Amino acid sequence: MIEMNNRRKRDDGIGRLFFLLRNKYGLRVKSIKMVKQNVWVVTAYEGCWVAKRYRTFLEAMRQAVFMQSLRQAGFAHVPAVYTTIGQNGVFFVKDAFWIMQTYISDAERLSFARRQDIADGLELLQTYHFITAMLAKIPAFPTIIPHYCLYSKWQRRYNEFYSHLSLLERIMDKEDIAWTIQHAEYCLSTFASYAPPLAAEPVAIIHGDVASHNFLRTKAGMIYLIDYDTVAVASPGIDYLQYASRILPYLQWSLAKLYQFSRFLCWLAKPWFLHALLFPADIMREWRFALQRNKRLFIARKERNQFVRKIIDMIK
């Protein structure tokens, strides 16, 4: 049976996937259910997998090879790629390339509202970066995995935000919009002063999307890091920067509370990292979702102003 959320019209590609898995590869598929765009859960008598669709062979192969390399290097916190089918687990169905990975059942995402979950996520990130720093030295990986550019991402996010000002007034106060633009422009205009030390940082293969929903804890206590679509070659500090951006709203934008997590200490000693914390990445990331849901977006301006002043005093 093929299930589609929200009663969407059946995707012919999923129909073909169903018959390919059943008739060519012998899997006794019971159902294929959409989770989100390009992601399905395949349930069969033999097991349960997450099937992901990619536009190109390179994108799919990059995911499959990287995830398998992580496991081979000793990082057990990544789902296993189902390699019985296709080329290294990559197979072709209706103008797209696919991989299937083990579905992590009986698991819940970490919550950044819980201090222990924040700490556990940071510990897993450290282990992940230790492994991927070694993988980044393998000549093949820097050629197939993109290199991350913080300034380009900021500029792109800023341009998208600025081009939707008329719509943003539906979900944000004008003062909050002005505050966001001011701080984004400050970070962009002063970035050049901090770019050299960032460029000199040792690199690893960063995860690139360290949101709480990408950390899954099983009932047995094992934590998995999932969804490697945004991996890139960069300083591990980029992942910690995004992690900080994700947890600071739960810490009431308190720099003192951020210092309580030991994994941040070395990064908070670096001026480029402190400067990057000033960029309103969370707002630039969340406004689209708020707009789609017609939900007000508040930025805790009072707490953030105190946070900004402390950071600026530290990097002067």
Q: Cα 305 vs. chain centroid, distance in angstroms?
A: 27
pLDDT value at position 10? 52
Find all residues with CB under 8 Å of 132, minimum gap 6, and list them. Answer: 70, 204, 205, 206
The one-letter amino acid at 232: A
The CATH homologous superfamily of the domain defined by 108-315: Aminoglycoside phosphotransferase (APH), C-terminal lobe (3.90.1200.10)
**pLDDT confidence of residue 14:** 84
Q: How far apart are CA 70 and CA 55, in angstroms?
A: 23
Provide the 8-state DSSP code for 88.
T
Per-residue pLDDT of the chain (316 residues; tens, 9 = 90+): 555 444 444 555 788 889 889 988 899 999 999 999 899 999 999 999 999 999 999 999 999 999 999 999 999 999 999 999 888 899 999 889 999 999 999 999 999 999 999 999 999 999 999 999 999 999 989 899 999 999 999 999 999 999 999 999 999 999 999 999 999 999 999 999 999 999 999 999 999 999 999 999 999 999 999 999 999 999 999 999 999 999 999 999 999 999 999 999 999 999 999 999 999 999 999 999 999 999 999 999 999 999 999 999 999 8
What confidence score (pLDDT) does residue 8 get? 47
Closest CA to 283 of 151, 175, 181, 213: 181
| 244-269: burial string, b at 16+ Cβ within 10 Å, e else | bbbbbbbbebebeebeebeebeebbe
The CATH 3.90.1200.10 portion of the chain extends over 108-315
Distance in angstroms (rounded) separating the CA atoms of residues 39 and 33: 9
Measured at the CA of 238, the angle between CA 171 and CA 149, to 5 degrees, comes to 85
Residue intervals in the chain for CATH 3.30.200.20: 2-103
Q: Under CATH, domain 2-103 is a member of which superfamily?
A: Phosphorylase Kinase; domain 1 (3.30.200.20)
Whole-angstrom distance, CA of residue 280 vs CA of residue 32: 39
Which is it for strands 29-36 and 204-206: parallel, antiparallel or unpaired? unpaired
